[in-house]
Amino acid sequence: MMKKCFLLLAGIAGLIASPVLADDRYQSRPPVIVSPDLTAPWINQLGGARVQPVVYPRAPAPVVAQQQPRGLFAPRVVHPLFGGAPVQQVAMGRPGIPAIQGHLDPQFLPQVVDYQTKERPGTIVIDTNNRFLYLVMEGGKARRYGVGVGKPGFEWAGAHTITRKQEWPDWTPPSEMLSREAAKGHYLPAHMEGGEANPLGARAMYLGSTLYRIHGTNAPWTIGNAVSSGCIRLRNEDVTDLYDRVKVGTRVIVM
């Protein structure tokens, strides 16, 4: 008898609790926030409006397909942006600096070209319209590199000297950039230590007392385009090569 009473009470309790549980089951959950910038590393996040994403320009990281000893050439890599096709190996300025090639127009690869100018050998001349940086050499020659330049509204021209050089530089975005990107929904870090993910890349050469630099990049596929906030960017292996060829005091002409 007591067993029957217990089962009856349990059944009544279940009938009473079921609607409550059912209502709770179908209550609304916190929204899923999807970034409008699908290249951001934080595409999906849970937690509603309290989420404060921190992003910086970055593409999917290469996946090492076949590791080789460190030396003149970079490891053979497969890059997610290019359908998993192997990426061609390229010479590196320094061991350990990633090199990604295969999607870059060959004209933007480093090469020695004929170049007539009145500027002295050792001068850097940057042709922003054609996206080339020239390091003037003797005998009417120049070493030419492909570069990324300022996007529309951020173009500039002038003459400066290199006042400082830095390997694997830190990045502190100016307040104007922080505000500008925040208005577009992109929240940049106030400071980032140097490294492979840093937008300034492997090397930086600072121009005069300005905020402009010649520097590397963590986005080598942007070389040949107008994409920056005024700085001149090169592939990491190219900026490392240039860095070793120039010194503080080098004249830089941007036109």
Contact 199, 171 (CB under 8 A): yes
Between 237 and 31, the more confident residue is 237
User: How far does CA 211 lie from the centroid of its chain?
Assistant: 18
Over residues 86-97, the mean pLDDT reads 38
- Return the pLDDT at 12: 54
Domain containing 135 — which CATH number? Answer: 2.40.440.10
Mean pLDDT in residue range 24-36: 48
Determine, yes or no, domain membership for 34: no
151 within some domain:
yes
Q: Which residues contact 193 (CB under 8 A, 6 or more apart)?
A: 170
**What are the catalytic residues?**
215, 231
Listed range (11-15, 49-53, 71-75, 200-204) with the worst mean pLDDT: 71-75
Examine residue 173 and state whether it is found in any structural domain, yes or no: yes
In 3-state terms, what secondary structure has residue 6? helix
Residue 122: inside a domain? yes
Domain count, the chain: 1
Q: What is the pLDDT of residues 135-192, one digit of tens each?
A: 999 999 999 999 999 999 999 999 999 999 999 999 787 788 878 878 888 877 878 8
In a domain, 209, yes or no: yes
Residue 94 pLDDT grade (very low, low, confident, very high; cuts 50, 70, 90): very low
124 occurs within a structural domain: yes
For residue 174, give the 3-state DSSP assignment.
Answer: coil
Domain with 107 in it? 103-254
Predicted TM-score (pTM) of this structure: 0.60
37 lies in a domain? no
Amino acid letter, residue 149: V
> Residue type for 126, please?
I
